[in-house]
Amino acid sequence: MVGYVTLDDQSTNASYSGDWGVVLNDSPSYENTEIRPERDGASFSLQFYGHKVAVRGVRTNLSGGIQIAFSVDGGENDTVTFEAFESTESRLLYDNELWKSETLGDIDEMHVLTGQVSSTSDEKALFLDSFRIYQASLDQQTISSGSPSTGISTGTSGTSTGTSYSLPPGMEPTVSGPYVPPPSNSASRATEAFDVGAWAGIVVLIAALSRLL
């Protein structure tokens, strides 16, 4: 299983500079929001904890020619030129993967993703919607929101299968539903020992009462 957490474009982990327009109450979007670069030079940065990151958004029939130069930790730019989305059914393509990094390492660490927009204008439209943060620590376990536990620290309530790690504020599990850990072998043995001892005590008590009667 590949594990990731999803951050909204309005997460406190993300910051924007230059001219951006925020779209609210757009129900197909993640958390009903998205953000659009309106001028060349608009940029964003995202702090994340993991070993890979993907940017997801909305392409439109007016996205053609817009460019974003993506970079992680100040490394070499990876510039993407977007194509317009054309369909007979819709002019909007939601939850589209706009860019995805290479694996940044075998372990989860803090990284900074940046993006610099060019070749855009009022007549063009491309929207950032969410960020997927892939984590090595999640690849072999299931994360769910629910009652707090000592296995995970998310900034919100959450549980895990037992591996400890920390997430920056704003990172939330993507799968809902409480996780109930199975009882350990030692706990089962303790319960069995208690049951045997309790029954032995009852038998002794009955025998003692029988002698008194």
Is residue 14 located within the same domain as residue 104? yes
Is residue 132 located within the same domain as residue 194? no
Whether residue 157 is contained in a domain is answered as: no
Give the chain's domain count: 2
User: Which pTM does this prediction carry?
Assistant: 0.67
Whether residue 168 is contained in a domain is answered as: no
Q: Are 30 and 58 a contacting pair, CB within 8 Å?
A: no
Whether residue 28 is contained in a domain is answered as: yes
Is residue 44 located within the same domain as residue 133? yes
pLDDT tens-digit series, residues 33-64: 999 999 999 999 999 999 999 999 999 999 99
- Which residues are CB-contacts of 29 (< 8 A; sequence separation ≥ 6)? 23, 58, 94, 127, 129
Is residue 129 located within the same domain as residue 207? no
Confidence of residue 16 (pLDDT cuts 50, 70, 90): very high
Q: Is the pLDDT of residue 194 over 70?
A: no
Looking at per-residue pLDDT, the higher value among 27 and 65 belongs to 65
Per-residue tokens: 167 = 């997430």
Whether residue 50 is contained in a domain is answered as: yes
Average pLDDT over every residue of 119-128: 94
The residue behind tokens 């860019």 is: 99
Whether residue 39 is contained in a domain is answered as: yes
- Identify the CA nearest to 96 among candidates 44, 25, 37, 28: 28
End-to-end Cα distance, the chain: 66
Residue type, 164: S
Confidence of residue 126 (pLDDT cuts 50, 70, 90): very high
- Identify the CA nearest to 134 among candidates 164, 160, 169, 171: 171
Distances (CA, A) of 185 to 10, 11, 26, 162, 181: 44, 41, 49, 15, 12
What is the helix (H) or strand (E) element at residue 188, kind and residue range? Answer: helix 185-212
Q: Which of 52-56, 104-108, 178-182 has the weakest average pLDDT?
A: 178-182
Distances (CA, A) of 28 to 23, 24, 86, 175: 12, 11, 18, 18
Q: Write down the pLDDT at residue 96.
A: 96
Is residue 46 located within the same domain as residue 124? yes
Give the CATH number of the domain where residue 33 resides: 2.60.120.260
User: Looking at 86, 119, 138, which one is the last position of a domain?
Assistant: 138
Is residue 114 located within the same domain as residue 211? no
Is residue 134 located within the same domain as residue 189? no
Whether residue 176 is contained in a domain is answered as: no
Is residue 17 located within the same domain as residue 120? yes
Percent of the chain with pLDDT over 70: 64
Query: Domain range for residue 193?
Result: 182-213
Furthest-apart CA atoms within the chain: distance in Å: 100
